[in-house]
Chain A
């Protein structure tokens, strides 16, 4: 069964591009959410295999969304990859966050799928 990926980003353009990139490179099913709240609902309902979570979002930001995901028994086991446009991502430390990895924007479309596979040990 093909993998299912949930992309969470408040920017519709970024959602489209990321979706296009992943669909182009893989046979994964790509779900999208435009806000933290939407992400929580979809995650609980569809149980994706991984969540790509944007850090900077209005209202409920990436950190708050992550916290909720980890609190909910239905979603706490889903690996989360943080995506951040913050400058010099390597200068930022996310050691305190229970995330599988942190990816910096902008990402190379084809590289993104490869990165996700490498992080999660998918073949």
Chain B
């Protein structure tokens, strides 16, 4: 919105529009000439009434007004100009002849801004006109700015009200915390309702002090990650309500600055119920799938023994195909259930002293046939390390990783399994632990898939599950096992050159809560 009168005067063909009012035509002419010479547009009138009409019809930038006039005198004209909103803002300069009685106080009282006495000095008149035009311009600019500021304030206030309302009524918990301390600055009613805390119990306290989140290390790591990336999407966290109840939340967090202080705005959804239903569904479906499959496999096996009558070669091959596929289904169901029970904490680790060389040897032996069939050579070079862990689970992890590597190797390629002491990976505190390194010469994993492969059903190529006979759960199970031991699993890969999987485990793992 731009006031047309604020347009830079130089863009107009004249400097300003001045209305000059004097009952003496000679004076008027002189003044008009003087101003026209200086590129002012001048309208001259000799009567107060005419002047009012002219000013109302097209408000000038400035009015020069003679005091002594018949009928309406200058003061009266000025009073009427000021009373009319159309002309109230126009600066009025009074002109009075020397010897006439000029009531200066009266001139200002009726709204005049200045006065000039005749005979006047040209430079003085021009200077005064200039000054008042400029003052007028500045004043109007200020007014416009003021209006704009007020509008902006209203807009901002409305935006804030909208946000405040969304914050207040959102069914999702929303929190504002300081970074990196994670101290609560503001929380919404949904947060309080779902956690059971009162406002006073959380504002000013940190997530850590309240013991809200399980796995403090993980939270600290999330904070680091947030401050590095600016956002965290769909982070699953477990938290305790005030009564100690365990809930699972899905968090999306964005970093923002408030008065120069880094803060985290987090929006959560409580997925506890969803996860419970999911787990229930998985276990129900798995059981319902497995029972008939067991009958299928049992029947096929009996047929395959030949005790019920010999099958010919083709019949025998068909039965073998049926058995192999039924077994793959059982494996998939077992993996789903296994992973599900690990994730839901139904499987606790049985700790004992495990010898790394023994574990590796057993895993190698279990996959000897598979490796031989694939014509892949497995080389094991591990240090004599013993660690406190669940040997069965570590065995499962090793076999999963090794069979993966074999599956994705070509005949003639090699696989190296190394194990030595190494400091914990970035982000994990503590003493040096066991680092396993499984290197293959396979086709490699694209960089954009590397972070996905440890998720459930995330094979790089969807057809892998069918071609390689995998379930798409092996690496997810490996991750679960590593994390249950307080360790980590990750991978590095170069396309066309192969992949290396790393597993780091603490030597003295405490059972994860």
Contact = CB atoms under 8 A, between A and B. Distances in A.
A90 B392 contact: yes
Nearest to B342: A91
Contacts of A14: 291, 294-295, 298
A87 B334 contact: yes
Contact of B298 (A25, A86, A91, A109): A109
A56 B298 contact: no
B394 to A, nearest CB: 13
A87 B294 contact: no
Contacts of A88: 334, 337-338, 396
Interface residues of A, number: 23
B199 to A, nearest CB: 45
Contacts of B301: 21, 106, 108-109
Interface string B262-296: 00000000000000000000000011001111110
Contacts, number: 63
B350 A21 contact: no
A52 to B, nearest CB: 13
A24 interface: yes
Contacts of A3: none
Chain B interface size range? 20 to 34
Contacts of B307: 24-25
A27 interface: no
B302 A109 contact: yes
A109 B293 contact: no
Nearest to B327: A106
B302 A85 contact: no
B221 interface: no
Interface in A69-123: 85-88, 90-91, 93, 105-110
Contacts of B302: 17, 20-21, 24, 109
A93 B293 CA distance: 24
Contact of A56 (B287, B334, B337, B338): B287
A2 to B, nearest CB: 18
Contacts of A86: 337
Interface of A: 11, 13-14, 17-18, 20-21, 24-25, 56, 85-88, 90-91, 93, 105-110
Interface of B: 286-287, 290-295, 297-299, 301-302, 305, 307-308, 330, 333-335, 337-338, 341, 347, 350, 392-393, 396
